Amino acid sequence: MQKTLMLLLFVALFSLTGCVKQLSPQGMTVAIPTAKITQSLQKEFPITQNTQYGQVSLSNPSILLKRGSDRITAGATVLFSNAFISQQRGSIQVSGKPYFDATTGNIYLHNPSIEKLQANGYKLASYMQGSIKQIILPIVDEIFKRVPIYKINRSSLQGSFVKNVHVEDGSLLVTFGL
């Protein structure tokens, strides 16, 4: 009886938002809109980190969910400077699989990889990308280990019942269940 009541509460809560994708015995699956993920991620930026090579800042994040991919792509503006080079502006696209951390109630990018890298409006030549990616990837990995792409209030009814998080057909899907 109590499980049925909880399930009805879930259905009522998410039906009002219009995001329910599927309701099955395994639980209720909700699609999180790309704009909502981007808005959540923007609250965490800009991020500035000092490295042995100089200062790296990431700002203006955006999220892209591609049909046919099980990964989330996050793009951002990159600013780099050090004592020898004036500030350089570029862009980066990183993709990774979503991971739900039950302890924090947040969704993170797991095992991010750099998909695109541009500097001063130009795509870097392939021979340059390798070494630059090797410098930037540990920074990107560290950032996405601690900065969530989406937050689910852990103490809320929603955060208590997350069973699964995955990308399918260009949507971030969160399955809630008992």
Structural domain includes residue 151: yes
pLDDT of amino acid 94: 94
For residues 47 and 55, the answer to whether their CB atoms sit within 8 Å is no
Structural domain includes residue 52: yes
Instruction: Name, of 73-77, 83-87, 125-129, 131-135, the range with top average pLDDT.
Output: 73-77
Amino acid at 138: P
CATH of the domain at 144: 3.15.10.40
* Mean pLDDT for the stretch of residues 116-123: 80
Structural domain includes residue 74: yes
Residue located via tokens 């800009």: 46
Q: pLDDT band for 18, please (50, 70, 90 cuts).
A: very low
- How far apart CA 92 and CA 115 sit, in angstroms, is 8
pLDDT of amino acid 62: 94
Find the domain containing 58 and state its range. 32-155
Structural domain includes residue 36: yes
Structural domain includes residue 162: no
| Distance from chain centroid for Cα 153 | 16
Structural domain includes residue 160: no
Query: Average per-residue pLDDT in the chain?
Result: 81
Amino acid at 166: H
Closest CA to 171 of 84, 90, 65: 65
CA contacts within 13 A on the Cβ side of 154: 8
Structural domain includes residue 115: yes
Structural domain includes residue 127: yes
CA contacts within 13 A on the Cβ side of 15: 7
* Mean pLDDT for the stretch of residues 60-64: 94
Closest CA to 90 of 54, 61, 119, 117: 119
Q: pLDDT band for 58, please (50, 70, 90 cuts).
A: very high
In this model, does residue 147 exceed pLDDT 90? yes
| Distance from chain centroid for Cα 171 | 12
Q: Is the C-alpha dihedral spanning 66, 67, 69, 70 positive or negative? A: positive
pLDDT of amino acid 23: 56
Q: What is the dihedral of CA 163, 22, 38, 126, to 10 degrees?
A: 80
- How far apart CA 122 and CA 60 sit, in angstroms, is 18
Total domain count for the chain? 1
Give per-residue pLDDT as tens, 103-118.
888 999 999 998 888 8
Q: pLDDT band for 42, please (50, 70, 90 cuts).
A: very high
pTM: 0.77
Instruction: Name, of 5-9, 83-87, 89-93, 169-173, the range with top average pLDDT.
Output: 89-93
